[in-house]
Amino acid sequence: MVERYIRDVPDFPKKGILFKDITPLLQSAEGLQECLDKMAAAVDPKSYDLICGIESRGFIFGMGLAAKLKKGFVPIRKRGKLPWKTASQAYELEYGTDHIEVHVDAVKPGQKVLLVDDLLATGGTMEAALKLVKQIGGVPVATSFVIELGFLKGREKLKPTPVHALLKF
């Protein structure tokens, strides 16, 4: 069901990339509900305290899940966006590197965290997010995605943290 709401957009944002557009899923009341229900069921909510979402589509699904499960939400943002003291992690882009950041006091030492993003491709972004959560004393319990591009083998990079994805391409 969820799969039929994912739109493939060829050559976006550049030639050769098949972009998985989740906006039709967000638009559909039934599709969105099913997606959040399945994400909520994928990892036992009792096993974590907080949800971390990665900018920007990770905010949408992470926040939806947090509201549904009555958990707190922590935004992991691109460099320079967060106003308070931050911890930072670099990750590889196709050309050069970028950074993601989190407030140093966003997760209390020992708190268990579920990390959420819309899509797992090479795994570089989520790998950096896992390091970031550990850097501020959090304990990653699992990662959760709507979509996994299996052929890029991103989940290898996230070991030993369990990886959950609703749809695999």
Contact footprint for ligand AMP (CB under 6 A): 17-20, 54, 57, 117-125, 154
For residues 39 and 49, which CB has a smaller minimum distance to ligand AMP in the complex?
39
Is residue 145 a contact partner of residue 165, using CB atoms and an 8 Å limit?
yes
Whether 101 is catalytic is no
- Provide the residue type at 154 as one letter: G
Taking the C-alpha atoms of residue 41 and residue 47, their distance in angstroms, rounded to an integer, is 12
For residues 49 and 54, which CB has a smaller minimum distance to ligand AMP in the complex?
54
Taking the C-alpha atoms of residue 44 and residue 73, their distance in angstroms, rounded to an integer, is 17
Q: C-alpha angle 53/42/123, rounded to 5°?
A: 50
For residues 68 and 169, which CB has a smaller minimum distance to ligand AMP in the complex?
169
Whether 4 is catalytic is no
Smallest distance, ligand AMP to C-beta of residue 78, A: 11
- CA 121 vs. chain centroid, Å, equals 11
Smallest distance, ligand AMP to C-beta of residue 108, A: 26
Just list the catalytic residues. 57, 94
